[in-house]
Structure 1
Amino acid sequence: MDNLETYNRVSSLERPLPKTLLLSVYTLLFFTIIMGAINFAVSAIDQPVLDYISIAALIAYILIYIIDGHRHRYCQHCGDRLTRITRPFLLTSKFLSMEGRKQGDYFYTRSRRHLWSLTPRWTKISQQSLACHHCRLTEEKQTESYEAASEAEIAQLSANTP
């Protein structure tokens, strides 16, 4: 992979049409769910069809949200598939207030991955952004990525503990 410092930064890389269509569908389904909830709470119109429509809209909203999270993003300039790249990790006040340590481009901390997990485990946090290697562009926006630390990384953290 090329040196990321040579890439130009832009505010948005993803094609605007899929984002706009998904936002429109989300908005339509959201208002359908809200109107169904109001109708159910007030019981103004006693028609079970409206309740079924709002339940179907809720299921569709959840499915589209899951599909949206797993879909591929494409560059608006060349049409190539965008990839996630790890940006250099910047320690902000959020991470300075957390217990953990920074090694390289990652921040390691102990956290509970799910609500039902009782024991905290080591988590590796990185800052990522989208990039198009054909156009040599990266997005300005960075997102945090959380993943479980491997056994080798945990052993390395334990070895470096003062």
Structure 2
Amino acid sequence: MTHKASFGAGRAVGGSLGFTLAELIVVMLLMALVAALATRVLGQTLGMWSDVQEETEERAEQAAALERMVREVREASEVKCQGTANDTLWVKRQDDTSLEFKAGGGVLTLRWISDSTSEQLSPESSVASGGTLCECKPDSHHLVRLSLSEEVETHVYPRNAECVSP
């Protein structure tokens, strides 16, 4: 009985069982190709997920800014849409303090008229440039249209005031 030396599940030395160097190289190349494709697909998926997360956060911040504007307009004693493109919403509150919401450079800014302090209400590029921030619709019972972009807009009826456009 003769025994041949064997290496794992491969071929015996000098026999017909085992893998050649060419076969191993082909398998390694195929594995590298599969790994590269999987990495690319995973990278694209993570990139899309990141984009969706950023858009979701931006929309949430826009909605919060718009809700702040709606609250102020609803409770205002006086409302004016100003600026050359109606890019400024001026609101006089019941306690006689005044606020100014201004859209410019892709940002919505709230400025307190009494002490000239201001705060940015929306992230950069979340407000449509050159768009209309507010619009008075006196033919519709003083309805005010508020818009940050084509996708983010609403209408509000002031309870105690009329909307005035210059």
- Check whether TM > 0.5: no
TM-score w.r.t. the length of structure 1 is 0.24
Q: Which has the higher helix share?
A: 1
Larger radius of gyration: 2
- Larger relative contact order, structure 1 or 2 (CA cutoff 8 Å, min sep 6): 1
TM-score w.r.t. the length of structure 2 is 0.23
